[in-house]
A and B are shown apart, each in its own frame.
Chain A
Amino acid sequence: MTDRIRVMVVDDHPMWRDAVERDLQAAGYDVVAVAATGTEAINRFRATRPQVVVLDLQIPEPSGVEVTATVLADEPSSRVLILSASGEQDDVLAAVKAGATGYIVKSASREELLAAVRRVARGDTVFTPGLAALVLGEFRRINEPETPPGEKLTDRETEILKMVAKGWEYKQIAERLVISHRTVQNHVQNTLRKLQMHNRVELTRYAIEQGLDEDEDG
């Protein structure tokens, strides 16, 4: 099997690392690396180049958010799936802004986890209702008159994101709105893309401000 999906599991709890690794292997995934800390994760990612990183956010430094940003900067075609126990909202939101395309809580069943890895590997986004509500709230927060249209949600995107937050599955949304499953998927992906775009714009703006300050000093 040469086309097995290559996965790395990052979790500082051995029992979880083993359980997830076992499940993935049993389901036919190729677990090329496991890591317990942020540093290990980044180093082993560079050595093995997995397609999917299953990542716990609460790991020893550097944090899961930093690991997400670093590995995706190294290899933009890789995908990060957040598997989190405590679901600290700020961290989850930060990881998604840093480029993670999936989020699932540890209390999810094995089938849900495997389905999430499969979908993330395919390039789809995996939203829980909780994550959809966070993203929705974030767009409401940043929705100001001066926000460029490219960083705002369209009415359709808001509608679909809201349905995801209310627990509708993509297939049900497609049926209800009489659109294709792919279209629903695209809309959800667009919301993430816009959120990440907004994040990059904010970071750039911040960098420019810092840069200007330095010029004034110099």
Chain B
Amino acid sequence: MFRALAVLRVVVLGYTVVVNVYRNNYDRPVLGWSCVAIMVVATFVLIAVYAAPERRGPALLVVDLALAVAMLLATPVAKGPWFHATIPSYWIVGALLAWAVRWGWRGGTTAAVLLGAVDLLTRSHVEQKDWGNVFLLLLGGSMVGFVCESLKAMAAERDEAQREAAAAAERARLARVVHDGVLQVLALVQRRGGELGGEAADLGRLAGEQEQVLRTLIRSQAAAPAPVGASTADLAVALGVLGARPGTEVALPAGVVPLPREVVSELVAVVRACLDNVDRHVGDGAPAWVLLEDLGDAVEVSVRDDGSGIPEGRLEAAAAQGRLGVAESIRGRVHDLGGTATLDSGSYGTEWTLRVPR
């Protein structure tokens, strides 16, 4: 902003010098030309001093404005009380805009009021064009100040956003490195533990569970930037947690699978019920597989075990006794979500397919 102002200063200086040479109507030429010389020197000194941001303090701005005021005050002395145009002419906008850039609309307006007042008070007669010029000073000072303030606020917001994004990316990178290291060790403990057997095997199993938990955590963090608001949740992350059950493999698509929060918790509860059933009928920690598919207009979750299947007639027997079996409960809960639950059972095992429309 101050760089653009530097260019403007040179332009208005050029105009001022040309106008003064053209008019050359001083009562006291020595004083008048000294003023012009001061302005030439001051312009370049000011540009040089303003170039460094740390020097743009109140002192510099006050000096800048004081110089402009001094030039205005020198005018009646050099030109006599009946002058038309001030010596500095448009040169004073340099100081005005410096104030506007530095202190916003308040700075711009203050400088404009001061310069305008000095200009009007030094004249022995005020013409309509002088009022017009002062009005322009006020308008320019306040508007440029206002715009500068907005621009600065926007730049600050943008910088803040960029800083936050960079910090988040760095945090994510560090987390990946740390997590990867921990996962490597957990996986190794799990593997060697299993090979050694005995107590080491228990340690290995614990490591495996923790590995699963950490993996789920990483996934939920990676999914955080996705549009998952308060009313929706990620079914993939929620199902991933179920991998903590021994022998369970949860297969998920890449990315998030957003669904209403209550649908997610109900579906997870149903899948958990299916897995409990595996524990009960096939054996504690018997192998089970959970697959989630995002079909666009619906989601499909399948839960499979490789047990010996449900003996024929058992479900019917349960119904005949008036008992609401687990199977009926699963069907009912999925039905309440507007979906369907189908059961496939045979010598190859049992598989539930839960399909819920979006």
Most buried by B among A16, A132, A138, A165: A165
Given contacts A86-B179, A167-B289, A107 and B191 within 8 Å (CB-CB): yes
Contact A166 B289 (CB under 8 A): yes
Asked if A5 is at the interface (CB within 8 A of a chain B CB), the reply is no
Tell me whether chain A's interface is mostly helix, strand or loop, or mixed.
Answer: helix
Partner of B180, one of A19, A85, A105, A165: A85
Contact B184 A133 (CB under 8 A): no
Given contacts A16-B184, A130-B252, A140 and B176 within 8 Å (CB-CB): no
Interface residues of A in 135-164 (CB under 8 A from B): 136-138, 140, 162
Interface residues of B in 285-300 (CB under 8 A from A): 287, 289, 291-296
Given contacts A19-B188, A106-B188, A134-B254, A166 and B218 within 8 Å (CB-CB): no
Give how many A residues have a beta carbon under 8 Å from the other chain's beta carbons: 34
Given contacts A130-B252, A166-B302, A106 and B293 within 8 Å (CB-CB): no
Residues of B within 8 Å of A105, CB to CB, are 187
Given contacts A87-B215, A133-B253, A176-B348, A106 and B287 within 8 Å (CB-CB): no
Per the bound structure, the CA–CA distance linking A110 and B190 in Å amounts to 11
Question: Closest Cβ of chain B: how far from A83's Cβ, in Å?
Answer: 10
Given contacts A107-B191, A162-B291, A85 and B252 within 8 Å (CB-CB): no
Contact B294 A137 (CB under 8 A): yes
Contact A107 B302 (CB under 8 A): no
Asked if B304 is at the interface (CB within 8 A of a chain A CB), the reply is yes
Asked if A15 is at the interface (CB within 8 A of a chain B CB), the reply is yes
Question: Closest Cβ of chain A: how far from B100's Cβ, in Å?
Answer: 41
Asked if A172 is at the interface (CB within 8 A of a chain B CB), the reply is yes
Q: Total A-B pairs in contact (CB under 8 Å)? A: 101
Contact A137 B254 (CB under 8 A): yes
Given contacts A140-B293, A166-B291, A106 and B304 within 8 Å (CB-CB): no
Contact B254 A90 (CB under 8 A): yes
Contact B190 A138 (CB under 8 A): no
Question: Closest Cβ of chain B: how far from A154's Cβ, in Å?
Answer: 17
Contact B208 A107 (CB under 8 A): yes
Contact A140 B292 (CB under 8 A): no
Contact A166 B176 (CB under 8 A): no
Per the bound structure, the CA–CA distance linking A110 and B12 in Å amounts to 82
Contact A138 B254 (CB under 8 A): yes
Closest Cβ neighbor of B181 among chain A residues? A13
Per the bound structure, the CA–CA distance linking A108 and B222 in Å amounts to 24
Partner of B211, one of A90, A107, A130, A162: A107
Asked if A191 is at the interface (CB within 8 A of a chain B CB), the reply is no
Question: Closest Cβ of chain A: how far from B51's Cβ, in Å?
Answer: 36
Residues of B within 8 Å of A167, CB to CB, are 249, 251, 287, 289, 304, 306
Per the bound structure, the CA–CA distance linking A138 and B217 in Å amounts to 23
Given contacts A85-B184, A167-B304, A106 and B191 within 8 Å (CB-CB): yes
Asked if B157 is at the interface (CB within 8 A of a chain A CB), the reply is no
Partner of A58, one of B180, B211, B250: B180
Contact A165 B251 (CB under 8 A): yes
Residues of B within 8 Å of A16, CB to CB, are 184, 188
Asked if A62 is at the interface (CB within 8 A of a chain B CB), the reply is no
Which of B's residues lie within 8 Å of A, judged by CB? 176, 179-181, 183-184, 186-188, 190-192, 194-195, 208, 211, 215, 218, 222, 249-255, 287, 289, 291-296, 302, 304, 306, 348, 351
Which of A's residues lie within 8 Å of B, judged by CB? 13, 15-16, 19, 58, 85-90, 93, 105-110, 128-130, 132-134, 136-138, 140, 162, 165-167, 172, 176
